[in-house]
A and B are shown apart, each in its own frame.
Chain A
Amino acid sequence: MDLTDKEYVEHCRDGHPEDFGLLVERYQKPLFAYLTSRVGDSGQAEEAAQESFVRAFLSLKKLRKPESFYSWLLGIAGRVAKEQFRAAVQRQRDREAAETMMSDASDPRETYPLEEAIAALPESHRQVILLRYYERLSCQEVATRLGVPLGTVTKTLSRAYALLRQELAAREGAVPTVNQTQS
């Protein structure tokens, strides 16, 4: 059975840095997707993701709530993306090119808060979403991986969808469609 984020963080702090690889394995894909949406280029996103993980590892002792590892990691990644963007603009040879990049990269957070919304889910719900969509397992495979009945997976997904929609609606200004009039 997979351990929780908190347990992995505590293992790392207790002299087992190799367990950090399991946190990388768990979050590399959502972090990459998040950064791709922010920087717009897969190569830069991968570079930023690696840098974010390295910084997270080096700052692990400062993490006050180990259970919030993923939210904390996204915060680090956001700062790395900003630094990377500023460095890219500086490298531009002329002002026009820099302006093009500015407009291309303008506030993508407004459009792509999905990974941030996933970070706000309870860990058990987040785990199912990550396995189903980022590891691309079927519901049955998720059930097998977690050692739970298939019905538990669909119920967890159902609840996770509702929470994600509420979170996205709050961030994107849309009206959630839960609890519509019934016929």
Chain B
Amino acid sequence: MMNCAECRDNLVACAEGLLDREALLECQTHLEACAGCRAEYQAIASLQQRLVARGHAAAEVSMVAPVMQRVLQKRKEPEKETLMSTILKHRWGFGLGAAASAAAIILSTILLTSPNAQAKAVEVMTKGAQAVAKLTSIHLRGQLRTYPQDNFSSINADSPFCTIELWKQFEPEFKWRIEKPQRVAVMDGVSTVMLIKTDDTGVKFPHPSSSAFDTDWLQRIANISNTLSNELNNAQAKGWKLTTTEETAADGKLKDIVTIMARSGVPDNDYGRNNFIGTADTRRVYHFDAQSGLLEAVQIYLVRPAGEVKVFELNEIDYNPSIDPTTWKLELPADVSWAQLEPPKLPDNAKYASMTAEQAARAFFEACSREDWDEVGKFMSPVTADLKKYLGGLEIISLGDSFTSQAYVGRYVPYEIRLKNGDVKKHNLAIRNDNPAGRWQVDGGI
């Protein structure tokens, strides 16, 4: 039997899933019997959740290249003659501006440590970034393998393709709209609103935003100059492989094609792996017109042991289009159900805040079972008519131990339920408590 000192020595390894089966059982047995160690374990787990949430919020950040461009621009040192600047000057014969020369200095560090093929990729992508330096608006139209109503970044290799479209205006006022068949989000310069059409659920932020509702990956592609420099930076920092090929199209025009093998770093056994663009190992293929340097198409392939699957294809890119002002107006149904942005603290908040994920999942399903929708509303917002119809009167068959994923800030609780119509549903409930009230909120997996 493990004593307190031994248990505490093992708490971090236990929380990290590093103990072997025997040590884990001993630790769990001690935790069940010892309130002090249990409180210590819960405090560690709570801190870990906070840290995971913070890391998750910053997962896609990559600003080394833009910062270094600005830094070097500010220093106003005489331009250094680098291999990259030489290539740029000689091949296209245009004078390098301050920003371009700064980029060349940064990118030269890649050249120094990379084979020639990577240098060529750097050259093509740098030219692509320069070609869109004065972008005022953009329209992207592509195809994503995803469920029509699912998150904007969600991918499913077994789904048919759905159309996904982005309109973005940089000047005179920053606005954007993203749409897939059952989900649309609009930032009209004043507020940011999303409508899920399947059940007329709305979410509204009362302020403008540059990105929201899981649209970041596509927003970043639309911001082409940054995307290309970020890809190069990632390739350098994370050792992603870059290759280039040249092709002649049917019309005789020369095309440069840059391929990047991007690794997500999410473990193979992680539940969230391959569910989102950012959690999958992907092969990203960028097609440029060699003459203008403009990006013309993008394909993203999911790389799995079973083989590659194309999950995204961007085949229409309109540069500086005139965008109809009605694009920024979102027609909302009269009976839209607005989601709470953050759950309020309840008079008996402590009762809910002290629950484990498993306890919260059980309380949620039990409330659905007895059709106590006020109670359900303490775990989910909004409680729509469709949700009531679907989950009302359910029967819980089983609930499992919760688990985490690098792709998600909360926890997943495995469940099996029998719906009122007799169908059995087995899935994982996504549930999170990273809100000021500290209450578990159902976030997906229904």
Q: Which residues of A contact B (CB under 8 A)?
A: 17-18, 20-21, 24-25, 28-30, 32-33, 36, 40-44, 46, 49-50, 53-54, 57-58, 100-101, 104, 111, 114-115, 129, 132-139, 150, 154-155, 157-158, 161, 164-165, 168, 176-178, 180-183
Shortest beta-carbon distance, B150 to chain A, in Å? Answer: 21
B13 contacts the other chain (CB 8 A) = yes
Shortest beta-carbon distance, A120 to chain B, in Å? Answer: 15
Q: Give the interface segment out of B67-75, B92-100, B292-300, B327-335.
A: B67-75
Task: Determine whether the beta carbon of B71 is less than 8 Å from that of A30.
Answer: no
Point out the residues of chain A lying under 8 angstroms from B71, CB to CB: 17, 20, 53-54, 57-58
**A-B contact number at CB 8 A:** 148
B346 contacts the other chain (CB 8 A) = no
CB contact under 8 A between A44 and B210, given known A28-B61, A139-B16: yes
B37 contacts the other chain (CB 8 A) = yes
A33 to B52, CA, bound (A): 11
B11 contacts the other chain (CB 8 A) = yes
A182 to B40, CA, bound (A): 10
Q: Which of B11, B63, B266 contacts A49 (CB 8 A)?
A: B63
Q: Which of B33, B406, B436 contacts A183 (CB 8 A)?
A: B33
Q: Give the interface segment out of B43-51, B118-126, B282-290, B318-326.
A: B43-51
A154 to B16, CA, bound (A): 9
Task: Determine whether the beta carbon of A54 is less than 8 Å from that of B51.
Answer: no
Point out the residues of chain A lying under 8 angstroms from B48, CB to CB: 161
A138 to B50, CA, bound (A): 17
Interface residues on B, range: 35 or more
A50 to B67, CA, bound (A): 6
B250 contacts the other chain (CB 8 A) = no
Shortest beta-carbon distance, B365 to chain A, in Å? Answer: 30
Task: Determine whether the beta carbon of B210 is less than 8 Å from that of A28.
Answer: no
B193-214 contact mask (Cβ, 8 Å, vs A): 1 or 0: 0000000000000111111100
Point out the residues of chain B lying under 8 angstroms from A58, CB to CB: 71, 74
A153 to B61, CA, bound (A): 25
CB contact under 8 A between A41 and B68, given known A154-B12, A177-B43, A178-B40: no
Task: Determine whether the beta carbon of B209 is less than 8 Å from that of A42.
Answer: yes
B58 contacts the other chain (CB 8 A) = yes
Task: Determine whether the beta carbon of B36 is less than 8 Å from that of A158.
Answer: no
B237 contacts the other chain (CB 8 A) = yes
Task: Determine whether the beta carbon of A50 is less than 8 Å from that of B63.
Answer: yes
Task: Determine whether the beta carbon of A53 is less than 8 Å from that of B16.
Answer: no
Point out the residues of chain B lying under 8 angstroms from A115, CB to CB: 54
Point out the residues of chain A lying under 8 angstroms from B59, CB to CB: 29, 136
A135 to B57, CA, bound (A): 11
Point out the residues of chain B lying under 8 angstroms from A134, CB to CB: 54-55, 58
A139 to B13, CA, bound (A): 9
Task: Determine whether the beta carbon of B33 is less than 8 Å from that of A133.
Answer: no
Task: Determine whether the beta carbon of A25 is less than 8 Å from that of B55.
Answer: no
